[in-house]
Structures are given as C-alpha cells and as structure tokens.
Chain A
Amino acid sequence: SQTIHQWPATLVQPVGSPLSLECTVEGTSNPNLYWYRQAAGRGLQLLFYSVGIGQISSEVPQNLSASRPQDRQFILSSKKLLLSDSGFYLCAWAGPSTDTQYFGPGTRLTVL
C-alpha cells in the first residue's frame, strides 16, 4: 500500500533562517507530487507541483522553492524565512494516471 511521510511534524524557526521540509512517498512509482500551504486565516493554497524528477511548476511567486531529487522525494525550501511563511504545509501525491490526491499529515511551521 502507498504511504506518504512528511517531516518534521512541527517546526519553529526565526525570521531569516533557512527551511527544508521533506516529503516522501512509498509504494508507488512516478507519482505527481504537490506542496500546499494553509496560512493563518486563509484557505489551502497550491504552491508547487511536480510530474517527474527535476520537473517543478510554481503556482505562486514567493520566497519558497521546491525540488524533486528522486522520484518519490519532494523538498520544500527557503533561504530566508519570513513571518508570513508561518502555516501548515501539506504534501500530496497522485498516481500518474489518476486525479485523486492523497495528503500527508502536514508540517506546522511557526516563524518568529
């Protein structure tokens, strides 16, 4: 069966510090991968999606970036965090020929 992992579960970082959130999927090959954010007072927002290794599409311009170094690994990064980067970060995967997305447990990021 397929599983999706995210870590860390919670993170508190100072403004200006770097960020690296990792998402890995098991039990499937060539998934489509997604990063979403839910900021305080706002709904879910799609940040990035990837249809293959090294292929990243950005939905919203910001100080975040994403990378996919391996087929089932998706990383969300920032060089310098802003206060506005606080929120819930969710990773999701979908099969290459299906539309249903499966979400990870999320990372709660607080930037102080």
Chain B
Amino acid sequence: KNEVEQSPQNLTAQEGEFITINCSYSVGISALHWLQQHPGGGIVSLFMLSSGKKKHGRLIATINIQEKHSSLHITASHPRDSAVYICAVTGNQFYFGTGTSLTVIP
C-alpha cells in the first residue's frame, strides 16, 4: 500500500465544471504539497499545506490533519488546466502520490 493515495487516477471534465481531486496519506507529515505537471514541462508546486485551506485563483486546497486527507478543487475548469496533479507529503522523507491525469475538454 502506498503511503499516499490519490483518486481518481484519470479525470475528464467539460470546460467550466468544478473538479475535485482527493489525496489520503498514512504517515505522519509536516506538510502536504499539491504539484502540477503539464505535458513537456517540469513539476510546479501549487500549494503547500500544513493545516486549513489555501486559495490561489481558481484553485483551492484543503487539508484535514485528523483524517489525513486533502482535496484539490478547481473551479470553472479550463482546457489549460489539463495536466497531471500530484499529491506529495513531507514526512521522514518525501512521499508522492501516483498522480491524477486531468483532461478538460472545450
């Protein structure tokens, strides 16, 4: 069992839809990261969370430390949001989720 689990693995949405990607982890952490990787690009850090909620533009990330769960929400999705979204946690070492491949169709 992976230390970090993400769901869904693949997601296709129509432009404008509200999108949620979930992440659960099983280890003690000091921080949780949401990362984005566009085709042909490097990995970009979207958020780093240790508690509560953060918002940046149309992206919202939440974390529940007690439940060891985090969600990434995208409001009013757009085709340029198409990418792989990766959840990762900083514990004794860095643990990565397997990623969620998002495709937003115009």
For the residues of A in contact with B, the DSSP-based class is: strand
On chain B, the number of residues with a Cβ less than 8 Å from chain A's Cβ atoms is 20
Residue of B nearest to A108 (CB): B93
Contacts of A99 in B (CB 8 A): 37, 39-41
A108→B39 CA distance, assembly (Å) = 29
Contact B94 A88 (CB under 8 A): yes
Residue of B nearest to A38 (CB): B90
A and B contact pairs by CB, cutoff 8 A, 21 listed: A9-B93, A34-B42, A38-B45, A38-B48, A38-B90, A38-B94, A41-B48, A43-B33, A43-B46, A44-B88, A46-B43, A49-B42, A88-B90, A99-B37, A99-B39, A99-B40, A99-B41, A100-B84, A101-B42, A103-B96, A106-B93
